[in-house]
Amino acid sequence: MTGIAKGAEELALMEAAKRVLPGGGFGNFANDIIIRSGQGGHVTDVSGNDYIDYLLGSGPMFIGHNNPAVTEAVMAQIPLGTTFFTNNEPGIHLAEAIVDAMPCVEQVRFLTSGTEADFYAMRLARAFRGKPKIVKFEGGYHGMSDWGLMSLAPKRLANFPDAVPDSPGIPDAVRNEVLVAPFNDIEAAVRLIEAHQDEIGGVIMEPLQRLIPPKPGFLQAVRDVTARLGIPLIFDEVVTGFRFAYGGAQEYYGVTPDICTMGKIVGGGFALSAIGGRADIMAMFDKAAVGEERFMTQIGTLSGNPVAAVAGLATLEVLREPGTYEKVFAMGRELMDGLTTLIAEAGIPAQCLGEPVLFDVVYAAGDMRDYRAMLRQDAAMQKHVNTVMRSRGILKGDSKFYLSTAHTAADIAQTLEAFRAAMQSMPASRKVA
């Protein structure tokens, strides 16, 4: 496929979106595409164009769109009721499955979005420890709360540990309660945590920070210092949970936090997220266990929604099938290796960064160890490549390939051909001399 034609219906919907939606969209992705359906590892737009889908709804559709097991489970639940605001059987069974899967989890509390999960996890750590500050790592994404939007993508670089708000509307007081460290710098992280130990409520981090893998020993060093000082360590596994391994990134990297957050895959494509952790910490949600003064209220209209819970249960059942992770990792490695070969052939200063189930091509040379190193990448080059690939039927995010169990060898081959075309279209000035 070369060239994507837009039909009258899709163009009319785009015009309607401009009238009724700020910026013409939902705030998530480019507004020049309107998806009508998805099947397996592909999606189709309103104009009938088919795309190999590496966006995957920003990650939840790890076993593909319209997986029969998930669809069957959802269709069976809907006649029984779609939400109750009470305990329900599917939600309890999903909590049991999460406890069985995730090394750090003894109890679970459900929410609706990753932002909620991260927000409540930070509050939970502060409440348990009785201290006001959160440590995060520059460039780490922890949702859209005021605390999450500190030094995610700062427009100006500050001296550590000063936090920089990423959005207007965030009170200055919040900035004073967030301490920021550089990712992958063991000495700096340990020194900061030790220096502020008497005021830190918790430390939150992505085990894989966006695309940046942890350097050997980094996660363990943060785990060791927080354990020694009695500071709760939170792994934000909204993205990595059930993706890197059935037990998440904590299983994959072999480092166990005190608390983790989950979303995306665990809801099977429906609105569901969760916090899980040690029972003594999770007891903060139980008034009978901790008393009136320490009790931390958390209420959500759709928390533990039964439709989302059955979708999550069905997804986890698929992921437990023998060979599932081995297959998707092998396919991801094949794509990464193919892209790396094409980059070398083209003489482009670029590299694949991430893990086989979640990575992208970063258009820069050298060690991409943290947020500041990632600022060296050529954003214009990436935009050009993504545009060429979209014109050849490859849909991906601005800076991510999400692999799914539904992608096929033919999908990988078509993706590599599209990337080859993008490399060939690159001007000579972009190539290494």
Q: Is 173 inside a domain boundary?
A: yes
| Domain containing residue 254: CATH number | 3.40.640.10
Tokens of 65: 């769109």
pLDDT band at 2 (very low <50, low <70, confident <90, very high): low
Shared domain check, 145 and 249: yes
Q: Is 209 inside a domain boundary?
A: yes
Shared domain check, 167 and 300: yes
Backbone torsions φ then ψ of 210, nearest 5 degrees: 60, -90
Q: Identify the three-state secondary structure at position 39.
A: strand
Last residue of a domain, one of 299, 319, 339: 319
Q: Is 403 inside a domain boundary?
A: no
Last residue of a domain, one of 319, 335, 365: 319
Q: pLDDT at position 1, please?
A: 43
| Rounded Cα distance, 369 and 151, in Å | 16
Q: Which listed residue (51, 54, 120, 141) is catalytic?
A: 141
Last residue of a domain, one of 319, 334, 357: 319
Mean pLDDT to the nearest integer, 117-146: 97
**How does pLDDT run across 37-64, given as a tens digit for each residue?**
999 999 999 999 999 999 999 999 999 9
The string of DSSP codes covering 161-200 is T---BSSTT--HHHHTTEEEE-TT-HHHHHHHHHHTTTTE
pLDDT at 396 over 60: yes
pLDDT at 296 over 80: yes
pLDDT at 433 over 90: no
The answer to whether 325 is a known catalytic residue is no
Tokens of 347: 């003489």
CB 355 within 8 A of CB 430: no
CA of residue 419 relative to chain centroid, distance? 24
The answer to whether 141 is a known catalytic residue is yes
Shared domain check, 388 and 314: no
Q: With pLDDT > 90 as the criterion, what percentage of the chain qualifies?
A: 96
Shared domain check, 292 and 391: no
**How does pLDDT run across 213-268, given as a tens digit for each residue?**
999 999 999 999 999 999 999 999 999 999 999 999 999 999 999 999 999 999 99
Other C-beta atoms lying within 10 Å of the C-beta of residue 227: 14
Question: What range defines the domain where residue 388 resides?
Answer: 378-396+420-433
Q: Is 335 inside a domain boundary?
A: no
Q: pLDDT at position 273, please?
A: 98
pLDDT at 84 over 50: yes
Shared domain check, 425 and 312: no
DSSP E strands in 100-239: the ranges are: 107-111, 133-137, 178-181, 200-205, 233-237
| Rounded Cα distance, 114 and 123, in Å | 14
Q: Is 408 inside a domain boundary?
A: no
Q: Is 156 inside a domain boundary?
A: yes
Shared domain check, 424 and 290: no
Q: Is 270 inside a domain boundary?
A: yes
Q: Which listed residue (53, 146, 185, 236) is catalytic?
A: 236
Shared domain check, 187 and 272: yes
Shared domain check, 306 and 158: yes
Q: With pLDDT > 70 as the criterion, what percentage of the chain qualifies?
A: 98
User: Pairing mode, if any, of strands 358-362 and 401-402?
Assistant: antiparallel
Q: pLDDT at position 431, please?
A: 63
Q: Is 289 inside a domain boundary?
A: yes
| Rounded Cα distance, 366 and 373, in Å | 9
| Rounded Cα distance, 256 and 204, in Å | 13
Give the burial class of 173: count Cβ atoms within 10 A of its Cβ; 0-12 exposed, 13-18 middle, 19 or more buried. Answer: exposed
Q: Identify the three-state secondary structure at position 356.
A: coil
DSSP letter for 312, please.
H
Number of structural domains in the chain: 2
**How does pLDDT run across 340-385, given as a tens digit for each residue?**
999 999 999 999 999 999 999 999 999 999 999 999 999 999 999 9
| Of residues 5 and 235, more confidently modeled | 235
Shared domain check, 303 and 384: no
DSSP letter for 301, please.
T
CB 394 within 8 A of CB 312: no
Shared domain check, 382 and 290: no
Q: What is the pTM of this model?
A: 0.95
pLDDT at 432 over 60: no
Shared domain check, 382 and 281: no
Q: Which listed residue (131, 264, 396, 400) is catalytic?
A: 264
Shared domain check, 392 and 309: no
Q: pLDDT at position 155, please?
A: 87
The answer to whether 264 is a known catalytic residue is yes
Q: Identify the three-state secondary structure at position 246.
A: coil
